[in-house]
A = this chain, B = another copy of it.
Amino acid sequence: MRATGVVVEYNPFHNGHYYHLQESKKVTQADCMIAVMSGNFLQRGEPALLSKWKRTKMALLGGADLVIELPYAFATSHAPRFAFGSIFLLQSAGAESFCFGSESGDVSVFNDTHDMVSSQNRKYQTHVSEFMSQGLSYPAAAAKAYELLDLPVGLDLSKPNNILGFEYIRAGRELGSIIKPLTIKRKNADYHDVVLGKGDIASATAIREAVFSHDIGKAENYMPSFTIEILKDEQSIKGKLMNWEQFYPLLRYQLLSSSPAEINSFYEVEEGLEYRMIEAMKASDSFQSFMTRLKTKRYTWTRLQRACLHVLNKIHKEDMHRILDSPPAYLRVLGMTETGREYLSHVKKSIDLPLVTTFSKHDFEGLKMEAKTSLVYAQGASFNRLEAEKEEYNTPPVMVK
């Protein structure tokens, strides 16, 4: 059986995701679609609006056959580690290739940009560091560094999605080019589009806007019916869908009851950001207004939200470094279809990493971080909180026929 992989968050699963899965299947002629998916917290530094279990179900209903968890440390890391963890897991699970979405649909521009940069990698990295130390964000620094290399026009690295594709390519190369990179041209919606479009594809951002303004109906055209059903179901079980505002009282309490030194001990809180955080918090009465006060040119919104996540989850620098310094140590199966199960039983013996299907049987540091952060995630539930807390331990892999 042949497998291909995708890297996803599905926050929530929409028609664009469906299209991407189907196209990836068609292009690769794969028997099994593997999705590496972030858990309860996402790369943009946000809580997922639905738990990992609900999003796994959507993935399986939408065309994935096997859903593997990207551990918290990688899922909430900057693009290079996020990409490395994801591609490493896909390769470890036996995928021959991976398919990412892009505006161009042309993988060669990604490959070429990568090759050009890597031919002058030391220079490039030095420039990136310099620009970042001057106060630029990572994408801005990457784009400017590329410009300085005086190479033929490549990818526009100032776009976060291109950076991600670029890092996927780099991760694949780092892993020995065994896994083949492919890209699928996106349909219609732009990543950050906040207004629902006219076709049947809209960005997840626009869909979340509609969902949180209590207007799921407005977004119905852009999501498969199973997504709508699961969204409504989750609302009825746990109260509101999760977003930062629900965790805001906890973040506020955490920031205001900790010393600057304690806050500085959390991952991604650097260069006095702890003082800015405390001051911004004292003047704000919502997460949105807090973030608006916190934002500077130096850091992207995403980067700041990630720092907030690590404060909320109390993730210390040294713990994060220890996990990020090695590739993921296990393959955690969040769910599978019949096909996924068949695939797993075929490749089981050739997989080097331990397969985790029962949480309590394993003792990996990454899993402990998963438990810790899931416990915090459960605090966002408006009701049935005790049930939400137990999900991480009690939920068996989601099965969909």
Contact = CB atoms under 8 A, between A and B. Distances in A.
Interface in A346-397: 372, 375-376, 379, 385-386, 389
B253 A376 contact: yes
Interface string A110-150: 00000000000000000000000000000000000000000
A326 to B, nearest CB: 22
Nearest to A251: B253
Interface string A280-307: 0011110000000000000000000000
Interface string A21-43: 00000000000000000000000
Given A257-B313, A258-B314, A314-B258, A252 B285 contact: no
Nearest to A256: B375
Interface residues of A, number: 21
A274 B283 CA distance: 34
Nearest to A285: B386
A283 B386 contact: yes
Contacts of A324: none
Contacts of A253: 250, 253-254, 376, 379
Interface in A227-286: 249-250, 252-254, 256-258, 282-285
Contacts of A314: 257-258
Contacts of A379: 249, 252-253, 256
Contacts of A313: 257
16 contacts: A249-B249, A249-B379, A250-B253, A253-B253, A253-B376, A253-B379, A256-B375, A256-B379, A257-B313, A257-B314, A257-B372, A257-B375, A282-B386, A282-B389, A283-B386, A285-B386
Given A252-B379, A257-B313, A283-B386, 7 more contacts: A249-B249, A253-B254, A256-B379, A257-B314, A284-B386, A285-B385, A285-B386
